[in-house]
Amino acid sequence: MFERNFTYKDLEQVETEIENIHEALANVYNNKSCIWKISRTLDKLKNSNFSSEEEYLIDVFESRYVKCMNRTNETINFLQKFTKRKDFKILSNTARDLIDEIEQHLLILEQKDIYYTNKIMFRGIIIKYIKSIRILKIQKEIVKKSIKSIDIEDKKKLYIKFLKNEGEIYRIYNNLPDKFIKDKKTYISHLSNSMLSDAKEIIAKSIKYKIFSVLNFVVFGALLCIPYFLELKRVPEISVGSIPISLVAVFAIGISLTLYLYILVFLQNYFLFRGWYESKNKVKLCFMGIDFSMILLMTFIPVIHDKLNLSSSSYEHIRDAGCLLKICLTLHAIFLLSFSYKFWRDNKDELSDILLAALLIFISDLLILLVIYFNYTDDYILVVIPMVLLSFMIRFLQISKKFSYRYILFVLSFVVFVLLSSASGFFVRAVGLANYQIDLDIRKDNIPEYILNLNIKCQSKASEDIEFIKYTCILDDKSGLAIKFKNILVKVKSDGKYWLEVASKDRNESEIDNYRFWVSEKNIVN
């Protein structure tokens, strides 16, 4: 699975990368003297005998210098601003000369593309470069052996080893400052190979531990249902034979939603990273800000429409809201295409990635909005808003020249856990364990008085009940012996009793009232 035959072009690419890192390492090592001179000059400045006023100003200089010493350009800007301070004149010529000497060394480092002045970071960079060269030399030998080999199994083993090394190289590159990642294609190649290596490892372990994987289905399904029953503080009554089937069904639904979130959200960010790599951060932030605002606006359309009472009837309400939604989606599509064009101007060779990212973003946003539109409730915002915020945050995480996919997957896992836990009632209802609507005939003597006093009699004409379909009503009174409830909600069955809920809504009011009561199974007429 996912095997690859190496060619001499792959060998050439590895050799070129080794040469490039050798050059980068030589550049860093040849300019180490500037970093050491800066360090010694700072020590002189700190240990020299100055007046109390001078010492105070030098302490201010040192404390602020330390904060920006990992970024050469920022350090130079700080020095230039510091020398323009009014109180800079109180420093002696010796102190001024030392600060000027630091600035001269910094300018040399900037010319040589050395982006830091920290000695510790300098040593770390050299170690990372040396380690990456060592691994790349191993990669070179693997590619050579793979090209020469005619044994299929041997080629597979070599490729697996190659991918593991790619993961190591990716982690090294990902710990380097952004400006060290100059070769976009090389970095993305290591990134893709590292992702493939992790995917192969996960699949291999799933196949190896088949029994454990199957048991996970049931366990995962149970975990998805537990929050619902914890909220009710009731233990469901389920036959032993139906438990595995029900839980596997829950697992199937849960894993489908998980894959949707991972594939749709993760891939859109991956392709977006590839597509906007060369674009400026200002353009990226502008894109995220506008996208975030548009999604929020479309999310709040049902709320705004409902609160402003823009239409009198339910049909008109839905129609008008749907019209607004279509207009917003059209504007959203135009916005995505406009920025796609901008990203293409900045990244000429990434048109397919840009269009894929735009398409996945549009589909993801559309699905969220369709769920909102067709299942509008007063509390849906509590779920949607965090989804939009977290989507924004995940895109923000990959705004740099590096794609920390493991960190993004970790954040996504947390998001998935929260969303699936909040949707526990949905999973329970989907497999019929509880939380489902049903028509029941219940003996009148066992129905609480406050339920009987509710004015929830069903209308004689079906058309009059259109907007009340999801609410409970009393369909028939059988000679005073039993009451026939329509759309009563079974929250859970426990200890031979049904925990029922009547959801009623006054036709002149917008609020929904919920009433719960226990009924023994023997008091259910049908």
pLDDT tens, the chain, 526 aa long: 556 788 888 899 899 989 988 888 888 888 888 888 888 888 888 887 778 888 888 888 888 888 877 778 888 888 888 888 888 888 888 888 888 888 888 888 888 777 777 777 788 888 888 999 999 999 999 999 988 888 888 888 898 899 999 989 999 888 877 666 667 788 888 988 898 888 888 877 777 766 666 666 666 667 777 787 777 777 777 655 555 566 666 667 667 766 776 777 788 888 888 888 888 888 888 888 888 887 777 777 666 666 665 544 444 545 565 676 677 778 888 888 888 888 888 887 778 888 888 888 888 777 766 766 665 554 555 556 666 676 677 777 777 778 888 888 887 777 777 777 777 777 777 666 777 778 888 888 888 888 887 777 777 655 454 454 567 887 766 566 888 888 888 888 777 778 888 877 665 555 666 778 888 877 777 6
178 and 314 inside one domain? no
| Distance in angstroms (rounded) separating the CA atoms of residues 53 and 209 | 71
| Distance in angstroms (rounded) separating the CA atoms of residues 280 and 185 | 18
User: Of 49, 78, 111, which marks where a domain is finished?
Assistant: 111
DSSP conformation class of 183: -
| Structure tokens, 90 | 């109180």
- Any long-range contacts for 419-424 (C-beta under 8 Å, 24+ apart)? 419/257, 419/261, 419/383, 419/387, 420/224, 420/254, 420/257, 420/258, 421/224, 421/227, 422/227, 422/383, 423/257, 423/383, 424/224, 424/225, 424/226, 424/227, 424/228, 424/231
Q: Is the pTM of this model over 0.85?
A: no
Helix (H, G, I), strand (E, B) or coil at 177: coil
Residue 379 · residue 297 · CB < 8 Å: no
Query: Could you tell me the residue range of the domain that residue 82 belongs to?
Result: 32-111
237 and 353 inside one domain? yes
180 and 302 inside one domain? no
User: Of 397, 427, 457, which marks where a domain is finished?
Assistant: 427
Q: Is residue 2 part of a domain?
A: no
456 and 351 inside one domain? no
178 and 76 inside one domain? no
